[in-house]
Amino acid sequence: PFQYYSALALDAAQWAVLARNSSWQQLRMNLNTFARHGVFEDPAMVAEVAAKLRDPQQIARSRVLPYQLLMAYHAGAALPRPILDALQDAMEVATAAVPVLQGKVVVAVDVSGSMHWANSSKSDVLAVDSAGLFAGVLGSRAEDADIVWFGTRSGLVNYRKTDSPLEIKKA
């Protein structure tokens, strides 16, 4: 329960010990807390946390969902770049179990105004971001895919199969 620790007067070194000893999911869920308490001012801790976040065995053991990684990525926009890169690497591991889709696949993503609301009252992630994540994962796991966005207009999404689903943007 990190709320308990937040109430204590811990220094950055003590917060670093908490980060080092946290489970993979606890680490993912508390990245901003660790940043706020100075853990990432130490480049060695940035590297250690990034290594833990991209560890394939810990990712598999945590059973993290792509949406949880999307939320962490969005919430952590001010985190050091190596940590954001590690979240992208974790996404690749987390989505590797999605089966490869055979033949031509077209994924259509609604980007109309109604999709620009948050998924829930407790989330900053928009419905359109979740839809983009879903499209990006399917597109990256298809032999031949097009991602199309539509609203009052439509168009193709410019992406490469090697792009992270966290970074799929409409063209």
Residue range 78-116, pLDDT digits in tens: 999 999 999 999 998 988 878 888 999 898 888 888 888
User: Tens digit of pLDDT for each residue in 117-146?
Assistant: 887 777 777 888 888 888 888 888 888 888
Task: Please report the pLDDT score of residue 140 as a whole number.
Answer: 82
Task: Give the range among 29-33, 52-56, 158-162 with minimum mean pLDDT.
Answer: 158-162
Q: Are 166 and 87 in contact (CB under 8 A)?
A: yes
* Structure-model confidence comparison of residues 17 and 67, the more confident one: 17
Tell me the whole-structure pTM to 2 decimals. Answer: 0.78
- CA geometry: angle 38, 1, 13, nearest 5 deg: 25
Q: Are 72 and 87 in contact (CB under 8 A)?
A: yes
